[in-house]
Structure 1
Amino acid sequence: MKYTLKNESIMSFNDSEGTRFPKYTSQLINWANQNAQGTRPRIVGQLSDLFPEFQESGEDMTIENWRKWYIERHPMAIDTAADKIEAQIENLRSAIELIDREMIEAWVEDLVITKTFNGLYVQRAILASLAEQRRASYRLATPAEESTGIDGYVGATPYSIKPHTYKNMERLPEEICEKMIYYTKTKTGLSIEVEE
């Protein structure tokens, strides 16, 4: 048997009622918290470790007992987290004042044009960076070369460039005989693995 259990049902079964927030406010607080890192383990403790400790404490499993148990052990955590988030909310409040139509249009163009181009067209950047490391020239493949699985050359060596997930595919859509370059997109750029 398979089924899903929604968060609202979990709270209901656990006799715990969540707080309702005005529209958009929870999203903004969450965003501010991501920047402020107010609820990181160094601030509020490692909750995935603390809750099992609470369960083993012998206390009745109620939200009130969890609150009391947690606050006894981390009396300043909630205030400290809230202070960090509040400071970030003030930063957001100041930033919102700077946003006008012109900035919004520039942001949309940067996303749709620049970031899309650089995010989806990684072959040139990968070949250029590898060529720089090897002190060699590079070039993108011709359409005829692309049809054989080559994305470009560094010096005289042909390479095929694929996302790292391609490496783990059980049945590949094509057979590539060239050296491979695998990449993984990260939060800060690309992680690249070059086959030697």
Structure 2
Amino acid sequence: MEERDRLVSEEVEDFPVDNPKYTTYLLRPAVNLSQSNRPKVVGQMSDIIEEFRQKHPDGTFEDWVTYYKTEYDGDDRLEEATDIAYPMVEKMRQAFEQIDEEMTHDFLRDLVLFKTYEGFDIQEAVLRKLGELYDEDATRATAADESKGIDGYIGEQPVQIKPTTYPDDLQEGIDVPIVTYDENKSNKAMRVDASEVTDEIGVEPVYGGDSR
């Protein structure tokens, strides 16, 4: 707690200060879209921090910075990540300048009306298919469940149902298996990946083989 309090109060030399308002909301999708924070660029951070904690159980923030920089070429990795991310920042800046009130209205109309209805319809179809595959009753989530990130149930198993394009960072922190779908609008075919459900309940789909 003392270490966290020290970081929050910015008593650590060179600890990043808060960015100007709203900038992080723009930088986060730019970083995600550019994939500049992927393990192949910055390293598998969950493994690296765990390794650091094991080797330096009493290590401070400064120790962590030094460890990442010396053991994993941290400075070079951060430079590479920046070089990958910044062109996307520029693209997003140019795109944002093209957005006017009419485009904002059209986007909201599409999001509130079409996407809501389309998403509800697709989730219903995916749930029905999963019910058949696992020979279980498939039910939609209640409003209370949806507020927790649950879209439906396969038997007693809660699941999320998301398109493959759904941002990874929005799925974090929800301990529910994710069923992803990839819709081919040209031939109205849909590929569904329910492997996380299979892993969670330990039951293979009734029709065997691939659950996609």
TM-score (norm 1): 0.60
Q: Deviations over 1:11-54 (max 9, x none)?
A: 35996555211100111111211111111111111111112322
Question: For this pair of structures, how many residues does the alignment match?
Answer: 150
Does the CA-based 8 Å contact 1:29-1:89 persist in structure 2? yes
Instruction: Report the Cα distance in structure 1 between the residues aligned to 2:68 and 2:126, rounded to whole angstroms.
Output: 49
Matches within 5 A, 1:144-155: none
Aligned to 1:168: 156
* 1:129-149 deviation digits (Å, cap 9, x = unpaired): x8xxxxxxxxxxxxxxxxxxx
Give the 3 Å change call, closer, same or farther, for CA 70–8 of structure 1 in structure 2. closer
Pair member with larger Rg = 1
Instruction: Could you tell me which runs of 5 or more consecutive residues in structure 2 were left unpaired when the two chains were aligned.
Output: 130-136, 141-151, 165-179, 182-191, 195-204, 208-212
TM-score, length of structure 2 as denominator length: 0.56
Does the aligned pair in 1 maintain the 2:138–2:154 contact within 8 Å? no
Identity fraction in percent: 28
Given candidates 46, 50, 53, the residue that maps to 1:52 is 50
Amino acid at match of 1:162: T
Compared CA separation, residues 162 and 195, structure 1 to 2 (3 A): farther
Residue 67 of structure 2 corresponds to: 69
Kindly indicate whether residue 20 of structure 2 is the aligned counterpart of residue 25 of structure 1. no
TM-superposed deviation, 1:94 = 1.1
Given the alignment of the two structures, is residue 117 of structure 1 paired with residue 123 of structure 2, yes or no?
no
1:142 aligns to what? Answer: none
5+ unaligned residues in a row in structure 1: which ranges?
Answer: 131-159, 170-181
Alpha-carbon distance between aligned partners in 2 of 1:47 and 1:58, rounded to the nearest angstrom:
16
Work out the CA distance in 1 between the residues paired with 2:154 and 2:44. 35
SS of residue paired to 2:153: helix
Report if aligned partners of 1:32, 1:92 keep a CA contact under 8 Å in 2: yes
For residues 62 and 17 of structure 2, the distance between their equivalents in structure 1, rounded to whole angstroms, comes to 15
Q: Displacement, 1:71? A: 1.1
Decide whether the 8 Å contact of 2:10 with 2:17 is kept in 1. Answer: no
Which residue number in structure 1 is paired with residue 197 of structure 2? none
Deviation at 1:121, TM superposition (A): 2.6
Distance 1:103 1:57, change over 3 A: same
Question: Secondary structure of 2:31's partner?
Answer: helix
Aligned Cα RMSD in Å?
3.8
Return the offset for 1:66: 1.6
Cα 1:124–1:71 change in 2 (3 A) is closer
Structure 2 CA distance for aligned equivalents of residues 46 and 35 of structure 1: 18
